[in-house]
Amino acid sequence: MGQGRKDDVSRMVDLLRSGAVMLAETCPVCHTPLFKLKSGDVYCAACEKKVLIVKEGEAGEFKVLQLSTIMDLDRTIFAKLAELNDMIRHESDVDRLYELARCLIAWLEALDRVKKLKEDLS
Ligand SMILES: [Zn+2]
């Protein structure tokens, strides 16, 4: 590793000096401890990327997300929407169409959520 690892450490030191706080949560990509910046943003010093911590349910379990993960989600959802669109076009059974439409709405809602997450990260 050598130089790269050293740079990570010096970036972490710089973060701490700037008033950032090291968190118990680690980066989902590189498993380096995350930092909470004075601005309130969570940051990975090794990836040099902003990370979003999503609180899950009442248990207060945290999920750590990075923008790259969300970009992947985006692509998956778009692919599913395209598949559904194709299925709906070729389906004539009313019950089946109803199911597909419900599915379509669920994916569109997911897409909307992903959009909001992206806004939080940018
Ligand atoms: Zn990282």
Q: DSSP string spanning 3-37?
A: HHHHHHHHHHHHHHHTT-EEEEEE-TTT-PEEEE-
pLDDT averaged over every residue in the chain: 84
Are residues 32 and 72 both part of a single domain? no
% helix / strand / coil in the chain, to the nearest 5? 55, 20, 25
For helices 94-121 and 67-90, the axis angle rounded to 10 degrees is 160
pLDDT(2) > 80: no
For ion ligand 1, residues whose CB falls within 5 Å? 27, 29-30, 44, 46-47
Asked if residue 55 belongs to a domain, the reply is no
| pLDDT of 120 higher than 90 | no
Question: Does 58 reside within a domain?
Answer: no
Cα–ligand 1 centroid distance for 47 (angstroms): 4
106 CA distance to ligand 1 middle (Å): 31
Residue 112 lies in a domain: yes
* 114 within a domain of the structure (yes/no): yes
pLDDT in tens, 19-30: 999 888 888 888
Which residue range is the domain that position 85 belongs to? Answer: 68-121
Q: Please tell me the distance between residue 80's alpha carbon and the centre of ligand 1 in angstroms.
A: 29
Number of domains the chain is built from: 2
